[in-house]
C-alpha cells in the first residue's frame, strides 16, 4: 500500500460561523491560515471549543466556509462536495457502519467507485493486514473492541488512498495504555505511507509525540505553529506557554541588552537569556520557568532560597510548591533521585537551568 | 462538588413511601380498566365463540368457510398491503426530504402533512367523491366520464394512503433524525453521493423502522371503517362488513365473530410494529452518536427533487381540503358552483346538537384521560405497586385494537344488565377515553422519566405525602406533557368514527356519524361544511388552548 505522491495543503483566511436558530451566529473559525507540506503530519491542538473540529469538517466539505481558500496542491477544494474531494476522515466515534462487516466497511469506498471485485479483495486484505485485522474481516463492528474499531476506521480511510488524511481525536475513546500503543503505530504507518495528515487533539502529549509540527489554536485562530520542541521551549504567547505543559510565570524587568541576549531581573536576581528566547523583550516582562527546569538542593546552595509550602507525591514524580520571597514557584522533580525526604516547611535551595528561561513581553498577557 | 453529586445521581428508587391518598385511587383505576377494557373485550369474545349457548368456534370457522368472507378477508389484506407499501414509500421520501435536503418551506410542508392526522379519516373519502365520484368535478365535470373506478380498491387505496401516511411520516421523521449523523458523513467523505448514501447507509440502517411503518399502516388500513363505508362499492372489506352485519342484519354473533377475525391480525401486526419500532429507536440512538446535525444535501438535483416531491404531496393533500371547502361553500359541488353559506348555516343549526355534544363529551374525555393517564403513568414509572405492569399493559391494549372492535365490544357489553349504559353519555366518554388513554400514559411516562427521582425523594423526605408530591412537585413539571395528552385525546375523540358508531344514540349525537349519514343521504354540501367546522375547531384547540394557558404549559406541545 502506498499513496503515490503526497499533496500539499494550504488554508488561507478560513472563516466559519455557525448560525443558530433565531438568527444568532457563533464564530467557530476566524481567519485561519496554515500550510501543510506533502507527507507532513501536523496537529491542531487547542482547548475545547477552539474550532479544531470545524476546521477538519470544512476541509472534508461537511461544512461550508464563510470565507477563505482551501488548496490541495494549488487546486481549490471549496467548490467540490465531500464525495469528490478524496479526503479521508477518521471520526472520533469511528463511524463504522454497524450493518456491514469489517471487510465491507473497509471495502466501502472501493465499491462506491465500482472497483473490480478482485482488486477490492486484494486492497482490502492488504489494508487489513497492515493493521493486523485479518482475523476480524467477517465480524460486525459491534463485535469489536474499541481499539479494533479504531483500526478498522483507519484501514477504511487508508484504503481510499486519500490525498489528505484527517483525524478528529481518534484516540480519545481508548484507554490510556491502548492510546499509547496505537499512537506510535499511527505515526509509523503515516511515515511509511507518506500521507499528508492533519490531526486534531486536545491532548498535548499526543500532539507532541505524533507531530512534525503543531498548530496551537485559540478561539478559532492559529496562535502558534512550530515543531513540538519550538512550541514547548519557545512559546510565542502566554496562552501557548500555559496550554502546553505547566509553567511558572514570574514578573521581571529587562535591565541590560547584549549581542547574545538580554539580562533580566526576576526573583531578586539577574539572569541571562539567549536572544532567541526573548522576542522583542524590553522593560517589564514575564519570565517563564518550567517546573522541571528547577532542581532542589540543600538550603544555602543553588541560585535561590525558598521554603517548601506544600508537596504532592505522585510515585514517579514529586511536585513542590515553594515560596521564594513572596512569590510561589512550582517545581517538579523525578522522585527517586533523592534519599533524604523533603517535608513541608523545609528550607531548600533551588538550582535554575538558566538556558530554559523564556521571556515574553508583559503586555501580551490575557 | 463531591457532596452535590451524591444528590444528583438518579436512583431508580421509588419516591413513594408515605401517603395513602394516591394509592387509594389505584383500585379505582383497576376497576375502571377492568370495566371498560377487559369486560367489553371479554363479552365480544364470548359472543363470538358461542353458539346456542355453548362454547364453540363454529361461528368463526363457519365464516372462514364461506367463500364470500374469504374474499372479504383477501380484499382487506390486499388493501392493507397496498396502503402499507405505498404509504411507507411516501412517508420515507417525505421524511428524507425534511431531514436531509436543504430546501425552503419545511415548516409549511410539515404542517400540511400533519393535517390528515387531525382530521376525520372519512374526509378523504368525501373529497375524493367530490372530485372523482359519479358526479365528481374531475371525472364527470371535466372529463365527462361516468366512472365508478373510485368506488373500490383504487379509491380506498388513495383515501387511506392520504389519510394515514402522515402517521408513518411522523414515525420515520424521528428515526431519520435519530440516526448517528457521522455514519452518513463518513460515507459522504468516502465518495458516496447523496443517493448512494441513502441506499447504502441510511435505508439499510432504518430497515426496522421502515418495517414498523409498514405494519403501522397495515393495521390502520385494516381497522379503517369510514372510508370503506363510503368508497367500498363492490370491494367489501372486514371493518365495513362488521358494520353492515350489525346495523343492517342485527346479527350480533356473526358481527362479533367478524370482529374477532379483524382483531387477530391487527393485534399481531401491531405488537410486531411496536417491537420493531423499539428496536429501530434503539439502533438509531444507541451507541455514541457524535452529532445529531445531519448532512443537508445541497446538490441542485436533490433540492429540486425534494421540493417537487414534498410540494407534490402537499398539493395532493391540500387539494382534498380545498375540495371539501369548495363543497361546503357551493350549492352542489361539481354541478352548481353558486356560492352559498347555507351548508354552513345548516351545519351550525341542524347539526348544532352534534357539535355541542361532541365538544362537551370530548372535553370530558380529555379531562378523564389526562388525570387517569397521569396517575397510571405515575404508578408505572414511579411506584412499585403490585400489578402496575399489568395495569400498563391493559391500559395500552386499545392501541392495538381497531376502533370498530372497541365500539362493538362496548355495544355488546353495555347493552344489558348489569351495566346497562346504552344511550348514556358515559358510554361515549368511556369509548373516547379508552381509545386515547394509551397516548396519555405514554406521554406521561416519557415526561416522568425526564424528571429526576431525587426531586420527589426530596419532597417526600421533607414530609410531603405522595399526593402532595405529585401535585406540588411533579405536576408543574409535567404540565406540557399532560396538556399534550389532553389535546390529543380531544382531537382523536372528535375525529373518530369507528369507535363511536355503535354507541351513538338519539340522546347524544356526534359529528362524525352525522357526516356519514349526511353523505349517505347525498347531502355532500352539509357533510363538507360540517367537516370544515370540525377541522377548524380542532386547529383552534391545538393552537389556541396552549396559548391561552400561557408559557408554562406550552413547551413541547407545539407539534
Ligand atoms: N453545529 C454547531 N452549531 C453551533 N455552534 C457550533 C456547532 N458546532 C460547533 N459549534 C461552536 O463552534 C465552536 C468551535 O467548535 P468545534 O467543535 O470546532 O471545537 P473543537 O475545538 O473541536 O472542540 P472540542 O475539543 O470540544 O471538540 C464552539 O464554540 C462550538 O460551540
Ligand atoms: Mg472537536
Question: Is A123 among the domain residues?
Answer: yes
Going by C-alpha positions, the residue among B123, B146, B149, B116 that lies closest to residue B134 is: B146
Task: Compute the distance between CA of residue B289 and CA of residue B296 in angstroms, rounded to an integer.
Answer: 17
A333/A195 same-domain check: no
| Nearest-by-Cβ selection for A108 from B190, B205, B295 | B190
**C-alpha grid cell, residue A299:** 538550603
CA A149, CA A159: separation in Å to the nearest integer?
Answer: 15
If DSSP codes are grouped into helix, strand and coil, which group holds residue A288?
A: strand
Ligand 1 atom 11 nearest Cα = A28
Q: Are residues A195 and A338 in the same domain?
A: no
- A223 and A127, same structural domain? yes
CATH number at residue A316: 2.40.50.140
The pLDDT of residue B66 is above 90: no
| Dihedral sign, Cα of residue A286, residue A289, residue A291, residue A297 | negative
Give dist(CA B135, CA B148) in Å, integer.
10
Beta strands at A294-297 and A284-289: parallel, antiparallel or unpaired: unpaired
Is the shortest distance between the CB of A29 and ligand 1 below 6 Å? Answer: no
Same CATH fold, B57-123+147-299 and B20-47+341-559?
yes
Read off the pLDDT band of A334 (50, 70, 90). Answer: confident
Flag whether A48 is in a domain.
Answer: yes
Q: Which of A236, A255, A288 is the last residue of a domain?
A: A236
Task: Please say if the pLDDT value at position B559 is more than 50.
Answer: no
Containing H/E element for B487?
Answer: helix B475-495
Summarised one tens digit per residue, pLDDT across range A190-203 is 888 889 999 999 88
Q: Quick one: A176 and A298 in the same domain? A: no
User: What are the φ and ψ backbone dihedral angles of A263, each rounded to 5 degrees?
Assistant: -110, 130
Chain A residue with Cα closest to B296: A62
How would DSSP label each residue in A77-138? -TTS-GGGT-EEEE-TT----TTS-HHHHHHHHHHHTT--HHHHHHHHHHHHHHTT-GGGTT
Does residue A231 lie within any of the structural domains? yes
The answer on A71 and A213 residing in a single domain is yes
In chain B, the residue whose alpha carbon lies closest to the alpha carbon of A107 is B190
Radius of gyration of chain A (CA): 25
Q: Which atom of ligand 1 is nearest to the CA of A169?
A: 27
Order of strands, edge to edge, in the sheet holding A304-313? A294-297, A347-352, A304-313, A317-324, A327-334
Ligand 1 center to B101 CA (angstroms): 23
Average pLDDT (A29-38) is 95
B95 contact partners, CB below 8 Å, separation of at least 6: B169, B172, B173, B175, B176
Asked whether residue A74 falls in the same domain as residue A198, the answer is yes
Q: List pLDDT tens digits, range B332-354.
A: 887 788 888 889 988 888 888 89
> What are the respective helix, strand and coil percentages of chain B, to the nearest 5?
75, 5, 20
For chain A, counts of helices (H) and of strands (E): 8, 20
Pairing of strands A358-361, A327-334: unpaired
* Chain A CB contacts of B295 below 8 Å: 62
CB A350 within 8 A of CB A306: yes
Task: Dihedral sign for Cα B324, B326, B327, B328, please.
Answer: positive
Mutant choice from A18, A28, A82 vs B, greatest count of B C-beta within 10 A: A82
Q: A342 and A263 in one domain?
A: yes
Residues A154, A276, single domain; the answer is no
How is residue A341 annotated by DSSP?
P
Can the peptide bond before residue B418 be classed as cis, meaning omega within 30 degrees of 0? yes
Residue A181 lies in domain: 9-236
For B281-348, give the secondary structure using H, E and C: HHHHHCCCCCCCCCCCECCHHHHHHHHHHHHHHHHHHHHHHHHHHHHHHEEECCCEEEECCHHHHHHH
Kindly state the cell numbers that stand for A311.
508537596
Could you tell me if A48 and A142 lie in one domain?
yes
H or E segment at B16?
A: none
Cβ of A18 closer than 6 Å to ligand 1, yes or no, is: yes
Residues of B in contact with A156 (CB under 8 A): 186, 190
Chain B residues in contact with A113 by the CB 8 A cut-off are 191
What cell numbers appear for A56 in the block? 477538519
CATH (residue range B57-123+147-299): 1.10.3720.10
Does residue B106 contact residue B113 with C-beta atoms inside 8 Å?
Answer: no
**Nearest CB to A95; choose among B185, B192, B196:** B185
Ion ligand 2 — residues with CB under 5 Å? Answer: A 53
- Residue B554 has a pLDDT of 56
The owner of cell 478561539 is: A219
C-alpha to C-alpha distance for A361 and A287, rounded to whole angstroms? 9
Contact A141, A149 (CB under 8 A): yes
Minimal CA separation from B83 to chain A, in Å: 28
Interface contact B288-A61, CB threshold 8 A: no
Residue A46 Cβ inside 6 Å of ligand 1? The answer reads: yes
ipTM of the complex model: 0.88
What local confidence, expressed as pLDDT, does residue B57 receive? 77
> Which of A180-184, A200-204, B46-50, B453-457 is modeled with the greatest confidence?
A200-204
Provide long-range contacts, Cβ within 8 A and 24+ apart, for B391-397.
B391/B29, B391/B30, B391/B33, B392/B441, B394/B33, B394/B34, B394/B37, B394/B38, B395/B33, B395/B37, B395/B437, B395/B438, B395/B441, B396/B438, B396/B441, B396/B442, B397/B37, B397/B41, B397/B438
Q: Tens of pLDDT along A104-160?
A: 999 999 999 999 999 999 999 999 998 889 999 999 998 898 889 999 999 999 999
Flag whether pLDDT at B358 surpasses 90.
yes
Query: Does one domain contain both A65 and A130?
Result: yes
SS3 A219: coil
* Side-by-side strand order, sheet with A269-274: A269-274, A261-266, A248-257, A284-289, A358-361
A336 touches A317 (CB < 8 A): no
How far CA B122 is from CA of B75, B143, B158, B318, B350, in Å, comes to 19, 25, 12, 15, 20
Q: How confident is the model at residue A75 (pLDDT cuts 50, 70, 90)?
A: very high
pLDDT digits (tens, 9 = 90+) for B3-45: 333 333 334 444 444 456 677 888 888 899 988 999 999 988 8
Classify B20-47+341-559 by CATH class: mainly alpha
Boundary residue ending a domain (A207, A236, A265): A236
Give the residue-averaged pLDDT of B442-461.
Answer: 75
The burial class, CB within 10 Å (0-12 / 13-18 / 19+), for A142 is exposed
Residue A241 lies in a domain: no
Q: What does the pLDDT read at residue B442?
A: 84
- The tally of domains found in chain A comes to 2
Q: Mean pLDDT across the stretch A199-218?
A: 92
Label the pairing between strands A197-201 and A164-168: parallel
The CATH number that applies at residue A24 is: 3.40.50.300
- Pair A44, A191 in one domain: yes
Asked whether residue A366 is assigned to any structural domain, the reply reads no
Q: Compute the distance between CA of residue B222 and CA of residue B267 in angstroms, rounded to an integer.
A: 11
Confidence of residue A11 (pLDDT cuts 50, 70, 90): very high
pLDDT at B154: 92
Could B190 and A109 be called an inter-chain contact, meaning their C-beta atoms sit closer than 8 Å? yes
**Confidence label for B544 from pLDDT (cuts 50, 70 and 90):** confident
A236, A254, A285 - which closes a domain: A236
pLDDT tens digits along B289-327: 444 578 888 888 999 999 999 999 999 999 999 999 999
Label residue A2 by pLDDT band (50, 70, 90). Answer: very low
Domain ranges of chain B: 20-47+341-559, 57-123+147-299
* Chain A interface with B: residues with Cβ < 8 Å: 60-62, 81-89, 91-93, 95, 97-99, 108-109, 112-113, 156, 160, 173
Residue of B nearest to A164 (CA): B189
To test the pocket of ligand 1, the residue of A20, A27, A52 to mutate (highest count of ligand atoms within 8 Å of its CB) is A52
Single out the residue of B83, B167, B164, B160 nearest to residue B128, CA to CA.
B160
CA distance linking residue B413 with residue B36, whole number of Å: 9
Residues A263 and A299 in one domain: yes
Chain A environment of B200 (Cβ under 8 Å):
108, 112
Q: Please answer whether residues A240 and A224 qualify as being in contact, where contact means their C-beta atoms are separated by less than 8 angstroms.
A: yes
C-alpha grid cell, residue A92: 472520533
| Cα gap B245→A170, rounded to integer Å | 67
Amino acid at each position: 500500500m502506498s499513496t503515490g505522491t503526497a499533496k500539499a495543503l494550504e488554508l488561507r483566511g478560513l472563516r466559519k460561523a455557525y448560525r443558530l436558530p433565531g438568527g444568532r451566529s457563533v464564530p467557530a473559525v476566524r481567519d485561519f491560515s496554515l500550510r501543510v507540506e506533502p507527507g507532513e503530519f501536523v496537529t491542531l491542538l487547542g482547548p475545547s471549543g477552539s474550532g479544531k473540529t470545524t476546521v477538519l469538517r470544512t476541509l472534508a466539505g461537511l461544512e461550508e466556509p464563510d470565507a477563505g481558500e482551501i488548496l490541495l496542491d494549488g487546486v481549490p477544494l471549496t467548490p467540490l462536495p465531500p464525495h469528490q474531494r478524496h479526503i479521508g476522515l477518521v471520526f472520533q466515534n469511528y463511524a463504522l457502519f454497524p450493518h456491514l462487516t469489517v471487510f465491507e466497511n473497509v471495502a466501502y469506498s472501493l465499491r462506491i467507485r465500482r472497483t473490480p471485485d478482485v482488486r477490492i479483495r486484494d486492497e482490502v486484505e492488504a489494508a487489513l493486514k497492515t493493521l493486523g485485522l485479518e482475523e476480524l474481516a467477517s465480524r460486525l463492528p459491534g463485535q469489536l473492541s474499541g481499539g479494533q474499531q479504531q483500526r478498522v476506521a483507519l484501514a477504511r480511510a487508508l484504503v481510499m488512498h486519500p490525498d489528505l488524511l484527517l483525524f478528529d481525536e481518534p484516540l480519545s475513546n481508548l484507554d490510556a495504555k491502548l492510546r499509547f500503543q496505537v499512537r506510535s503505530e499511527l505515526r509509523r504507518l503515516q511515515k511509511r505511507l507518506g500521507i499528508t495528515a492533519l490531526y486534531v487533539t486536545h491532548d498535548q502529549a499526543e500532539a507532541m509525540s505524533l507531530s512534525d509540527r503543531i498548530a496551537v489554536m485559540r478561539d478559532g485562530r492559529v496562535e502558534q505553529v512550530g515543531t513540538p520542541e519550538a512550541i514547548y521551549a519557545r512559546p510565542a504567547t502566554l496562552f501557548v506557554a500555559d496550554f502546553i505543559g505547566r509553567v511558572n510565570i514570574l514578573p521581571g524587568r529587562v535591565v541590560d541588552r547584549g549581542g547574545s541576549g538580554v539580562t533580566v531581573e526576576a526573583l531578586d536576581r539577574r539572569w541571562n537569556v539567549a536572544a532567541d528566547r526573548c522576542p522583542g523583550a524590553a522593560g517589564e516582562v514575564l519570565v517563564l520557568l518550567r517546573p522541571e527546569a528547577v532542581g532542589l538542593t540543600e538550603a544555602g546552595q543553588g541560585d535561590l532560597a525558598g521554603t517548601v509550602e506544600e508537596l504532592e507525591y505522585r510515585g514517579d514524580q514529586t511536585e513542590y510548591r515553594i515560596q521564594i520571597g513572596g512569590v510561589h514557584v512550582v517545581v517538579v522533580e523525578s522522585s527517586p533521585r533523592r534519599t533524604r525526604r523533603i517535608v513541608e516547611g523545609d528550607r531548600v535551595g533551588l538550582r535554575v537551568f538558566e538556558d530554559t528561561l523564556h521571556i515574553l513581553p508583559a503586555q501580551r498577557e490575557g | 462538588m463531591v457532596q452535590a453529586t451524591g444528590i444528583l445521581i438518579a436512583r431508580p428508587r421509588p419516591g413513594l413511601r408515605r401517603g395513602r391518598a394516591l394509592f387509594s385511587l389505584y383500585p379505582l383505576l383497576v376497576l375502571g380498566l377492568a370495566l371498560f377494557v377487559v369486560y367489553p373485550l371479554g363479552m365480544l369474545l364470548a359472543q363470538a365463540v358461542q353458539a346456542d349457548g355453548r362454547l364453540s368456534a363454529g361461528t368463526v370457522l363457519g365464516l372462514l368457510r364461506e367463500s364470500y368472507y374469504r374474499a372479504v378477508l383477501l380484499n382487506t389484506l390486499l388493501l392493507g398491503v397496498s396502503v402499507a407499501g405505498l404509504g411507507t414509500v411516501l412517508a420515507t421520501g417525505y421524511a428524507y426530504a425534511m431531514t436531509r435536503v436543504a430546501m425552503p418551506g419545511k415548516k409549511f410542508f410539515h404542517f400540511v402533512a400533519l393535517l390528515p392526522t387531525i382530521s376525520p379519516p372519512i374526509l378523504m373519502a368525501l373529497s375524493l367523491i367530490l372530485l372523482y365520484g359519479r358526479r365528481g368535478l374531475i371525472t364527470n365535470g371535466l372529463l365527462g366520464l361516468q366512472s365508478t373506478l373510485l368506488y373500490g380498491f383504487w379509491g380506498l387505496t388513495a383515501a387511506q394512503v392520504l389519510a394515514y401516511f402522515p402517521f408513518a411520516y411522523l414515525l420515520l421523521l424521528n428515526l431519520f433524525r435519530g440516526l448517528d449523523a457521522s455514519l452518513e458523513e463518513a460515507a459522504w467523505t468516502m465518495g458516496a453521493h447523496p443517493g448512494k448514501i441513502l441506499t447504502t447507509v441510511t435505508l439499510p440502517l432504518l430497515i426496522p423502522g421502515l418495517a414498523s411503518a409498514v405494519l403501522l399502516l397495515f393495521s390502520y388500513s385494516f381497522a379503517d371503517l369510514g372510508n370503506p363505508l363510503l368508497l367500498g362499492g363492490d370491494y367489501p372489506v372486514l371493518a365495513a362488513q362488521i358494520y353492515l352485519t350489525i346495523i343492517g342484519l342485527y346479527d350480533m354473533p356473526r358481527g362479533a365473530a367478524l370482529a374477532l377475525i379483524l382483531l387477530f391480525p391487527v393485534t399481531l401486526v401491531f405488537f410486531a410494529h411496536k417491537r420493531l419500532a423499539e428496536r429501530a429507536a434503539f439502533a438509531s440512538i444507541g451507541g455514541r452518536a457524535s452529532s445529531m446535525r445531519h448532512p443537508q444535501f445541497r446538490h441542485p438535483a436533490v433540492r429540486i427533487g425534494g421540493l417537487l416531491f414534498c410540494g407534490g404531496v402537499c398539493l395532493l393533500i391540500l387539494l382534498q381540503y380545498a375540495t371539501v371547502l369548495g363543497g361546503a361553500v357551493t350549492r352542489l359541488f361539481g354541478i352548481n358552483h353558486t356560492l352559498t353559506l347555507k351548508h354552513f348555516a345548516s351545519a351550525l343549526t341542524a347539526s348544532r346538537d352534534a357539535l355541542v355534544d361532541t365538544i362537551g363529551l370530548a372535553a370530558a374525555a380529555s379531562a378523564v384521560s389526562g388525570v387517569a393517564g397521569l396517575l397510571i403513568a405515575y404508578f408505572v414509572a414511579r411506584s412499585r405497586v403490585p400489578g402496575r405492569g399489568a395495569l400498563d399493559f391493559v391500559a395500552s391494549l386499545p392501541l392495538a385494537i381497531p376502533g370498530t372492535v372497541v365500539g362493538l365490544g362496548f355495544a355488546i357489553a353495555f347493552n344489558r344488565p348489569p351495566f346497562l349504559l346504552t344511550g348514556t353519555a358515559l358510554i361515549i366518554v368511556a369509548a373516547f377515553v379508552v381509545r386515547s388513554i394509551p397516548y396519555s400514559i405514554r406521554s406521561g411516562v416519557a415526561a416522568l422519566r425526564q424528571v429526576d427521582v431525587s426531586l420527589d425523594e426530596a419532597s417526600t423526605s421533607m414530609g410531603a405525602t405522595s399526593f402532595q408530591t405529585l401535585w406540588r412537585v411533579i405536576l408543574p413539571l409535567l404540565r406540557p406533557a399532560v396538556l399534550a395528552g389532553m389535546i390529543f385525546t380531544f382531537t382523536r375523540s372528535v375525529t373518530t368514527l369507528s369507535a363511536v358508531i355503535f354507541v351513538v344514540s338519539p340522546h347524544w349525537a356526534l359529528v362524525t356519524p352525522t357526516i356519514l349519514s349526511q353523505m349517505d343521504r347525498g347531502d355532500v354540501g352539509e357533510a363538507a361544511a360540517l367537516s370544515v367546522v370540525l377541522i377548524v375547531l380542532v386547529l383552534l384547540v391545538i393552537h389556541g388552548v396552549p396559548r391561552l394557558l400561557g408559557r408554562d404549559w406550552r413547551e413541547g406541545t407545539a407539534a
